[in-house]
Amino acid sequence: MNRLHLTGHVCKPARLEKSPSGIEHIQFSIEHRSMQAEAGMSRQSFVRLQVIMSGEGLTHWLDKLTVGSEVHTEGFLHRHEDKQALAKLVLHAQHLEMI
């Protein structure tokens, strides 16, 4: 199963792009910080992750997803490669809500 729920703050503002096939994609980045229990100890957890949402009618998110906004996302992880063929994990959000 490939499913991720993540709550965090927007750290890179949203931008809207359109694929050659006409599909809208909105991209932004979030940061998550929390304390997690591991091996009977508390440790600090920090994650910064790029988020992509695809589909129709995403423009209303552009004004809402400002730096510092808190969001909850849910979706699946996917491997993307940049122009230098460096791989990174990206969250493809299928659900997004402001907190």
18: in domain: yes
The parent domain of residue 78 ranges over 4-36+43-89
**Per-residue tens of pLDDT for the chain, all 99 residues:** 999 999 999 999 999 999 889 999 999 999 999 999 999 999 999 999 999 999 988 989 998 999 999 999 999 999 998 888 889 999 999 999 999
55: in domain: yes
Q: What is the pLDDT of residue 43?
A: 96
99: in domain: no
What CATH number should be reported for the domain holding residue 54?
2.40.50.140
64: in domain: yes
Q: What is the pLDDT of residue 82?
A: 82
Cα gap 50→45, rounded to integer Å: 17
Q: What is the pLDDT of residue 50?
A: 96
Structure tokens at 1: 């199963």
96: in domain: no
Q: Please tell me the number of Cα atoms within 13 Å of 68 on its side-chain side.
A: 0
CB atoms within 10 A of CB 13: 14
* Number of domains within the chain: 1
